[in-house]
Chains A and B, each alone.
Chain A
């Protein structure tokens, strides 16, 4: 039996009169990679935010790591994100005043690791992603690709059940984008984490096991991608 780490049922998200997500059903299994693609304004980012517990759906249910988000308050959802979710944003969004090491260690400390353990785990994660030598530098002192790899390390270092990536290669050149995507999927697979990627880039979407096409807030098609790792 395949364990579901993410399940959405008839999710509806409205912002005033605008319907961003219109009755989406979705299930994501552990270690599965799913790409959500679609034109701008199709609702893919809203869906991702809803699945990650950043916004509450107008109606419908979302189960994240087996927990129904509906009854959860903001603090409970934050606790669930700390323990079970990793994020990779388009511009990395690392904390600019912290070193890469501290940025990654932050994710461990948030789940209760001691400072020492957190630093050790963060160093290992950065090493695995090839930016261990830059651990002491701040985000502003490294390239966009290096920054994004550190963001991947932060997203995975605490062994989450799901990693949400919002246009993870959007600010990178093709070479760096490919490298970051490879490392994200590989590291997630090693950690047993599911990956949900929101992207415009067909090349990125093709790297995932499943591709969901959204339009006007609905999932219009699902494609299983053969080339997925």
Chain B
């Protein structure tokens, strides 16, 4: 990441073409003292340039290219700073950097212009701000009984209600401000150690996380203001016991209805797509996702209450019965405690579903990219030789329907297809697929039989399937049928072979072609920046999920401890009448685990269904975001273990009498 303008670091990317190859040059103000980008040992001084090895070679071969790189070449950019070994790339130091734009954005030199930072900001906002808001809300209502007594004491001596609320607001606001200052100070302290480690796989520069006075001021005002509002709200007069007895105005059936409908709609999408049928499910998905999320919000209290009631009614153990009764009695406050974790679980499912989709589009993994390689002037036999010399390169060959549809028939073996087909069904030799993606559905109608002639005149009959399971639109177009079969050698066109390769395979292929004729050229449409951007998003999402998870878990723990502490007088009473400590501990743990398990199970179900529905409607194949589900379950399990620990530690007061007297 490039440091912000406050550090006077100015850099700007300029792209030019050398023939049909892009050349990216990053001009850096020579008088800057900013951090060193990856691949360099030092910033280029004024009049100095660091170039990629490939560019250095091209400059030697084609002297005019040197004019694109002003100054003296002082060294090369190491592979760590390149997204591709054949990349034409240069860092150029300029004396007058005033005209360069202040650098900003996230991670790596590919984002000098800030591309992709909008999505990253949204991800971070969702992952971090939602749990942070939950944390604030919960923090503002901590020790509510004790504080409520204070407000009541003020009211009892005739302090006007607005003053009571004002005092409550100021108290919470100031607490929030102090917390904000401490948080910013802590962040400043850990900023450099954190960033130097390369958080989330990104190439972070410490100055990227610099807290400017504006950011600090906005943060403090936001936290203080939110604290005031929440504090005033928490101090409102309420009817006696209203917290426990207040019921929703909605009839019980209606509270469940949106959730049930939403789940049913999302399930329908998955079932329909697994059955192989194709419907326009976008409206169904959007409506289902909306209803499921809103329904979960409405239904969380009944869900938690039902879980408590069920355990209270059915358990034979006194501790579980007490915990279940408590959960059923006071579900609202429990739901408030859990809101952050529930929101984070659903957001996590959705974001990782988007990233899964992006991964399927961009490529399967870091070193596997989709390349459309054109090898000119290669004979059929040479093509076979090349393929034989680069066994890891999976070839797609194609022929054209000579009928009126002009459909393309392409071949690839299952090894190649497995890397791009997003389906749960394993590829089998002879399977037929239609090429499509979300934006461009297949042009070919289902169950249509095509009579194709190969180049050597052999007739082939192909019937298109119902399922569109291929995302190779960019390579072949939407009028393509893909057959899972090794390409007949005779059918390989001599002027064009498409390969699915990784970086290593690309080099291997180039070497194979060079072995036949060094003058032959291999071109590729690999988009390393797209891959890099995806990786940045993934890293940010992971980082955000970790931060959000920490915040949400912290919220849960703080609120749980607060609830247990506020319940200590009741616990002390139970201890006084002789309830064994083990039973008390079980009861306290049950109060934490029951609502947690119920709420997170519901959140994981809803989040998983939304993720699956998104992948299903988006890619026209049944999505299987098992990874997200496992992550969600992992978060839930972690929270449950923490709840166990908290319940076990805080549950039983040692000094019974003190708590009895406090009551």
Chain A residues close to B by CB (< 8 Å): 45, 49, 52, 54-55, 74-75, 78-83, 85-87, 89, 91, 93, 95-98, 102, 106-107, 109-110, 115, 138, 140, 154
Contact = CB atoms under 8 A, between A and B. Distances in A.
Given A55-B657, A140-B245, A81 B325 contact: no
B575 A78 contact: yes
A216 to B, nearest CB: 19
Interface string B637-663: 000000000000000000011001101
A38 B318 CA distance: 39
Interface residues of B, number: 27
A118 to B, nearest CB: 10
Nearest to A86: B577
Contact of A95 (B330, B574, B580, B660): B574
Interface in B553-590: 569-570, 573-581
Given A49-B657, A98-B325, 20 more contacts: A45-B661, A54-B576, A54-B656, A54-B660, A55-B657, A78-B580, A78-B581, A80-B578, A82-B577, A89-B573, A89-B663, A93-B570, A95-B574, A96-B570, A97-B326, A106-B318, A107-B577, A110-B577, A140-B241, A140-B244
Contacts of B579: 78, 82, 106, 110
Interface in B158-213: none
B231 to A, nearest CB: 26
A82 B244 CA distance: 29
Interface in B324-341: 325-326, 328-330
A37 B576 CA distance: 22
Contacts of A52: 576
A95 B581 contact: no
Q: What DSSP secondary structure best describes chain B's contact surface?
A: helix
A100 B178 CA distance: 45
28 contacts: A45-B661, A49-B657, A52-B576, A55-B657, A75-B580, A78-B580, A78-B581, A79-B578, A81-B576, A82-B577, A83-B578, A89-B573, A91-B663, A93-B573, A93-B660, A95-B325, A96-B244, A97-B325, A97-B326, A97-B328, A97-B329, A97-B330, A106-B318, A109-B318, A110-B318, A115-B316, A140-B241, A140-B245
Nearest to B591: A97
Nearest to B573: A93
Interface string B231-250: 00000000001001100000
Nearest to A74: B581
B244 A81 contact: no
B420 interface: no
Given A54-B656, A140-B245, A93 B578 contact: no
A80 B574 CA distance: 14
A45 B328 CA distance: 35
B322 interface: yes
A88 to B, nearest CB: 10
B530 to A, nearest CB: 56
A161 to B, nearest CB: 13
A49 B573 CA distance: 12
A83 B573 CA distance: 16
Nearest to B245: A140
Q: A75, A82, A95, A115: which has the most chain B beta carbons within 10 Å?
A: A95
Q: What DSSP secondary structure best describes chain A's contact surface?
A: helix
A110 B578 contact: yes
Nearest to B329: A97
Nearest to B324: A97
Given A45-B661, A55-B657, A93-B573, A75 B326 contact: no
Contact of B576 (A87, A97, A115): A87
A119 B577 CA distance: 18
Contacts of B657: 49, 54-55
Contacts of B580: 75, 78-79
Sorted nearest first, the 9 A-B pairs with minimum C-beta distance are: A82-B578, A97-B329, A81-B578, A93-B573, A97-B325, A78-B578, A97-B326, A140-B241, A49-B657
A224 to B, nearest CB: 30
B239 to A, nearest CB: 12
A85 B577 CA distance: 8
Nearest to B569: A93
A96 B663 contact: no
Contacts of B318: 106, 109-110
B663 A93 contact: yes
A225 B316 CA distance: 47
A72 to B, nearest CB: 13
A81 B322 CA distance: 19
Interface in B573-613: 573-581
Contacts of B244: 96, 140
Contacts of B328: 97
A140 B579 CA distance: 22
A119 to B, nearest CB: 12
Contacts of A75: 580-581
Nearest to B241: A140
A58 to B, nearest CB: 14
A65 B663 CA distance: 28
Contacts of B569: 93
A86 B573 CA distance: 12
Nearest to A46: B657
A27 to B, nearest CB: 23
A74 B575 CA distance: 10
A175 B159 CA distance: 34
A14 to B, nearest CB: 14
Interface in B292-331: 316, 318, 322, 325-326, 328-330
Contacts of A106: 318, 577, 579
Contacts of B322: 95, 97-98
